[in-house]
């Protein structure tokens, strides 16, 4: 039999950065998520959930953490690392702009908190920042999954077989992860003595105003609202 090899192609870029907020900044972020945990997650209607994410609740402001003073440092750090990410992938002259669509709190409950597999189809890049984790607790990992459409009419190849390297990231306090939004991911069951807090971001990537290009999203300033049709 002739020699053969299977080559897995097209790796997916995921950025990991361990940040170092000052004690005051870290405390301010933690207090905001503790407030969410106390006032929303502990509400009786959510008492049987093992996780709560602000963007799913449909309540005003819960997906707007990036507007709060407590998260301005994190916004700035995110800007630095997104810029480095795009420069690494596209070169220093990519001329793209990045917009925060929304940012929301995520609480994983003490016993078995998890988040089911999903994607963020509304965005181009997504990020997670771990505000509070327990030391030496590896549970509740962020697990990325390969697309299951390889021969999907016959079988789905598990992500572990399709991943060239990694696929699972440990939830370390003050760690930032940045990844393509359409990359399917989930949070494995979290087990801890206290809840775990993180913040998620969805980012849109556009051209600069007045510099639209084919196959790239134009800047929102170039958009025009489509008026609702009036009476006949």
User: What is the rounded distance in angstroms from the CA atom of residue 58 to the CA atom of residue 160?
Assistant: 34
pLDDT digits (tens, 9 = 90+) for 119-132: 999 999 999 999 99
Q: What is the CATH number of the domain that holds 144?
A: 2.60.120.620
pTM for the whole structure: 0.88
**Residue 219 forms part of a structural domain:** no
Is the model more confident about 19 or about 54?
Answer: 19
Residue 9 pLDDT exceeds 90? no
**Residue 214 forms part of a structural domain:** no
**Residue 135 forms part of a structural domain:** yes
**Residue 231 forms part of a structural domain:** no
Q: What percent of the chain shows pLDDT beyond 90?
A: 57
User: What is the rounded distance in angstroms from the CA atom of residue 155 to the CA atom of residue 200?
Assistant: 32
**Do 129 and 19 meet the contact criterion of CB atoms below 8 Å apart?**
yes
Quick one: pLDDT band at residue 192, thresholds 50, 70, 90?
A: very high
pLDDT recorded at residue 58: 67
**Residue 5 forms part of a structural domain:** no
- 3-state secondary structure at position 116: strand
Q: What percent of the chain shows pLDDT beyond 70?
A: 88
Residue 202 pLDDT exceeds 90? yes
**Residue 227 forms part of a structural domain:** no
Quick one: pLDDT band at residue 81, thresholds 50, 70, 90?
A: very high
Is the model more confident about 48 or about 209?
Answer: 209
Full strand arrangement of the beta sheet holding 15-18:
15-18, 175-180, 125-132, 196-207, 96-108, 51-53
**Residue 6 forms part of a structural domain:** no
User: What is the rounded distance in angstroms from the CA atom of residue 206 to the CA atom of residue 97?
Assistant: 5
Helix (H) or strand (E) segment spanning residue 30: helix 23-36
**Residue 92 forms part of a structural domain:** yes
Residue 180: give the domain boundaries: 15-209
Residue 144 pLDDT exceeds 90? no
Residue 99 pLDDT exceeds 90? yes
Pairing outcome for strands 185-191 and 196-207:
unpaired
pLDDT digits (tens, 9 = 90+) for 147-182: 655 555 555 555 555 554 458 898 999 999 999 999
Residue 85 pLDDT exceeds 60? yes
Domain count for the chain? 1
Angle in degrees, CA 77, 79, 83, rounded to 5? 120
Quick one: pLDDT band at residue 117, thresholds 50, 70, 90?
A: confident
The mean per-residue pLDDT over the stretch 216-220 comes to 92
Average pLDDT of every residue of the chain: 87
């Amino acid at each position: 039999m002739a020699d053969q090899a299977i080559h897995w192609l097209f790796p997916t870029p995921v950025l990991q950065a361990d940040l170092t907020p000052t004690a005051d900044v870290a405390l301010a972020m933690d207090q905001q998520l503790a407030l969410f945990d106390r006032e929303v997650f502990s509400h009786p209607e959510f008492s049987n959930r093992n996780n709560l994410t602000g963007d799913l609740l449909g309540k005003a402001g819960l997906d707007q953490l990036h507007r709060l003073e407590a998260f301005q440092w994190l916004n700035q750090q995110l800007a630095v690392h997104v810029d480095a990410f795009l420069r690494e992938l596209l070169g220093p002259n990519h001329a793209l702009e990045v917009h925060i669509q929304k940012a929301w709190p995520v609480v994983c409950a003490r016993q078995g908190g998890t988040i089911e597999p999903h994607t963020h189809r509304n965005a181009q890049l997504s990020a997670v920042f771990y505000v509070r984790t327990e030391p030496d607790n590896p549970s509740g990992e962020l697990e990325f999954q390969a697309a299951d459409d390889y021969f999907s009419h016959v079988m789905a190849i598990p992500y572990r077989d399709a991943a060239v390297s990694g696929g699972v990231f440990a939830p370390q306090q003050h760690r930032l992860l940045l990844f393509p939004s359409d990359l399917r991911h989930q949070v494995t069951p979290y087990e801890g003595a206290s809840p775990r807090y993180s913040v998620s971001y969805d980012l849109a990537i556009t051209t600069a105003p007045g510099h639209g290009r084919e196959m790239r999203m134009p800047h929102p300033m170039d958009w025009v609202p489509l008026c609702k049709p009036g009476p006949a």
